[in-house]
Structure 1
């Protein structure tokens, strides 16, 4: 019997994003910085299942 999994997603304020999380479209969050004016900058990486070499050379996710 096959097991099916229900996708779970949720919304949260950008200031609560952390390195190591991923977005609902599968991008890995690599860096989050909050500016003094409250602007949030997020660096993301889109995993490349079509190019394993490039995916392996990606920037570090910053988590262990």
Structure 2
């Protein structure tokens, strides 16, 4: 759980990257899809793949636990 949490927080902290817990990264459009594909192709970012257009149900709970 903590690895997924950290992956989301890292992605969210990148300048210009969208994240919300309902739509995840909310990738729409060809340019955004291409950028997303490149991002998740990197081995360190592969955990973000499921969050292309959906959030993570545990994020709010873990935000209360992890600083």
Q: Same fold (TM over 0.5)?
A: no
- Which structure's CA Rg is the greater one? 1
**TM-score normalised by the chain length of structure 1:** 0.22
- TM-score, with structure 2 as normaliser: 0.22
Higher relative contact order (CA 8 A, sep 6+): 2
Return the structure number with greater helix share.
2
